[in-house]
Chains A and B, each alone.
Chain A
Amino acid sequence: MKKNKTLIFMFMAPAVITLLLMYVYPVLRTVAMSFFHVESVTAGLDDWSFNGLANYFKIMHNASFVTSMKNFLAIWIVGGVITLALSLLIAVILTSGIRFQGFFRAAIYLPNVISAVALATMWVQYIFNYDYGLLNQLVTALGFDKIRWLGTDAKLWAMIAAFIYGSIGYYMLIYISGIEGIPQDLYEAATIDGAKKTTQFFRITLPLLKGIIKTTITFWTINAATFYLWSKLFSPVQTEGSTIVPVVYLYDTVFGGKGVVTTDAGAGAAVGVVLTIIIIIVYVLTDKLLKSNDLEY
C-alpha cells in the first residue's frame, strides 16, 4: 500500500504528543528532580538547586520511609507468594473439568471490576469491624474472644489479606489462559503412563508455565510497589506506621501530611525512582532466572 505521509503525520501526531506530554517529559523531569533540592512540587527550575544524591540519603535515613519499605517487602513477598500460589491453585481447579467453571471464573474475577474504594470500605467497615464484623461473628460463634483485626499489630496483615482476596481473580485468569494453551495430549499421554495428577502438575503444567509465571511476578511487583489505595483506606485520616507504604510516604512528603513540616518534592521524586528501579531489577532478575523455555508444543 502506498505511503501517505500527510495521513501518517495527522494520525500519529495526537498519540505522539500524548506520549511526550504524559510519559516522556514527566518521567525525565521526575528523574532529574530526584537529584535536586526542590521544596514545592510547583517550584520552577530557577528554584531547583542541585544536591546530588542527598535526597536518596535523606529518605534512606527517614524512619517513616524505612518502615514503609518494610511494609512493602511484607506485601511483596508474603502477599506475592500467597496470591500467586492461590491463583495458580484455583486456575488448576477451574481447568480440571469442574462444573460451573464459567460461573466460578466470573465470580472470582469480580473484585477486579468493582471500585477498590468500595471493596476496601466493605473490608474495613464490615468484615474486620470489631463490633458487628463478619470475622468477629465467626470467632464468637466458635466460642473465642473478639479480635481487634484493625489493631496496630494485626492491621498490616489484615490489609494484605484483603488485598490478596481481591487480586487473585486477575492472576487466576492469566494462569488459566496459560494452562489452556498447553496441549491436552501431553496430559493424556501422562495419564496413560500412569502419572498422578500432582505429578502431572509438577512435571508438565509448572514447567510449561514458566513464561506466564514470569509475567505474573512482574505484574505483582508493579502492584506491590505502587500500592497506595488500600493503605489509604485502612488508615484514611492520618498515615499510620502500621500500614504506611512508599507511595503514601511519597504523597505525604510531596503534598504534605502527618509530621511533614516542609514539603520536599525532590525526596518524593527519589522515592519514585527507587521504586521504579526495584521494579526493573525484579523484571531483569526473573527474566534471567526463569529463562523462557524454547520447548515446542
Chain B
Amino acid sequence: MEKTKRKANWKRELKMLPGYLVVGIYVLFMVVVLAWIFGASLSTSKDIFTGKVMQFESGFHWENYVTAWKTQNVSVFFGNSLLYSIVSCAGVLLIAAPAAYVLSRWNFRGSKTIRIALVIAMSVPAIMIIMPLYTLAVKWGIKGRILLIALYIFMRVPYTAIYMLDFFATLSHDYEEAAAIDGCSAGKTFWVIMLPLIQPAIITVTIFNFLSVWNEFFMALIFTSSNSMTPVGVGLLQIVNSMKYSGNYGGLFAAVIIVFLPTFLLYLFMSRRIISGVTAGGVKG
C-alpha cells in the first residue's frame, strides 16, 4: 500500500473513472453481502424471510451466536480447526525447515531429485493421493484428530520447504563458519542461529499454512469419521444441511460469521504480508 500524496488532478481522475467503477462495484458488492450476512446473523428467521434484515425491529439477536456456538456444535468445530491449524503449522516447520536448510546448503546424491519432487508434489491433485491414504489409514488403524493433523502436516511440507529454501540460500556462510570456530555443532547452529535468521519467511509461510489448513475441505470431508473431529468447513456444511429441518437461519448466518472471522481478522492485520507473499517465493498459495 504505497501512499502517493498528490494533488487532485480532476481531469486525470476523470479519465480513470471506468477503472474506479469496475473495482468500486466489485468491492461494493462484497461490502453489501458481508454487511447483510452480519445483519442476518443478528436477525430472526422471520425477519430474514420478510426482507427486514437491516431494520432490527425486535432488537439484536445475539442469542443466534449462542445457539450456533452451543447447540449447533460450532464450538467443537472451531476448537478442532484451531487445533489442526496450530499443531500442523508447527509440525510442518519441524519437517520442512531442516530439509530446506540442507537443500540450500549442500549438493548431495539425490538433492536435485528431491528438489524437483518437492515442486511437483505442490501441484499433485488431492484426488491422486486420497484413496491410497485412506487405505493406509484404515490398515494402520490411524483415526481421529491425529490422522487429519498428520495429513495436514504432510500436505504443507512441499510448499513450506520450497518457500524457505530461497530464504536460506540468501544467508551468508559466514554464520556457520563463525559458529563452527566457537565449537557449535552443525545441528545446534541450525536451530539456534540459522532458523531465527529467516524469521520473516517463517511468519509468512506459517500464515499461508494456517489459512490453507483452516480452509481445507476435501480431505476433512473424507477423513472425518466422527463429530468430535469435525473442522469448521465440514461442520458448516452439516449445519447448512440440517437447516431444512431446524429452520434457524439466524443461527446459520451466525455460524457463517464465526467461521469467516478468524481468517478475516488475520487478513485485516496481515494483508500486506499476505499479498506480497502470494507471488513471492513459491508461486502457489
With both beta carbons as reference points, the residue of chain B lying nearest to A269 in the complex is identified as B131
Measured CB to CB, the closest approach of chain B to A103, in angstroms, equals 7
Q: Is A222 an interface residue (CB 8 A)?
A: yes
Q: Is A69 an interface position by the 8 A CB rule? A: no
Establish whether residues A14 and B95, one from each chain, have CB atoms under 8 Å apart when the complex forms: yes
> In this complex, which of A7, A131, A137, A174 has the most chain B Cβ atoms within 10 angstroms of its Cβ?
A7
A interface, size bucket: 35 or more
Q: Are A127 and B33 in contact (CB under 8 A)?
A: yes
Least distance between B186 CB and chain A CB atoms (Å): 5
Q: Can you name the residue of chain A whose Cβ is closest to the Cβ of B32?
A: A134
Q: Is B203 an interface residue (CB 8 A)?
A: no
Q: List chain A residues, Cβ under 8 A from B187.
A: 7, 10
B49 touches A89 (CB 8 A): no
| Contact residues in A for B182 (Cβ distance below 8 Å) | none
Nearest A residue to B232 via CB reads A115
Query: Which residues of B lie under 8 Å from residue A236 when comparing CB positions?
Result: 237, 240-241
Majority SS at the chain B contact face = helix
Inter-chain CA distance A27–B120, complex, in Å, is 12
Q: Is B202 an interface residue (CB 8 A)?
A: no
Given contacts A7-B187, A90-B26, contact A126 B36 (CB under 8 A): yes
Cβ-neighbour of A132 out of B48, B151, B234 (below 8 A): B48
Is the beta-carbon distance between B26 and A132 smaller than 8 angstroms? no
| Inter-subunit contact B23/A98 (CB<8 Å) | yes
Are the CB atoms of B131 and A112 closer together than 8 Å?
A: no
Contact A22 B155 (CB under 8 A): yes
Minimum CB–CB distance for B50 against chain A, Å? 8
A106 contacts partner chain B, Cβ-Cβ < 8 Å:
yes
A113 touches B125 (CB 8 A): no
> Which among A113, A177, A276 is the interface contact of B266 at CB below 8 angstroms?
A113
Q: Is A297 an interface residue (CB 8 A)?
A: no
Q: How far is the CA of A124 from the CA of B239 in the complex (A)?
A: 14
Known contacts A10-B187, A30-B128, A122-B256; is A233 also within 8 Å of B237 by CB?
A: yes
0/1 interface trace, chain B 88-115, chain A, CB 8 Å (1 if under): 0000001110110111011010000010
Residue of B whose beta carbon sits closest to that of A229: B217
Partner of A22, one of B13, B36, B133, B134: B133
Most interface-central of B20, B108, B240 (chain A CB within 10 A): B240
A109 touches B278 (CB 8 A): yes
Q: Are A114 and B278 in contact (CB under 8 A)?
A: no
- Provide 7 A-B residue pairs closer than 8 Å at the C-beta atoms, listed in order of the A residue: A27-B128, A30-B132, A90-B22, A98-B16, A118-B260, A126-B253, A279-B125
8 tightest A-B contacts by CB? A102-B1, A15-B99, A11-B98, A26-B129, A22-B154, A26-B132, A93-B19, A177-B279
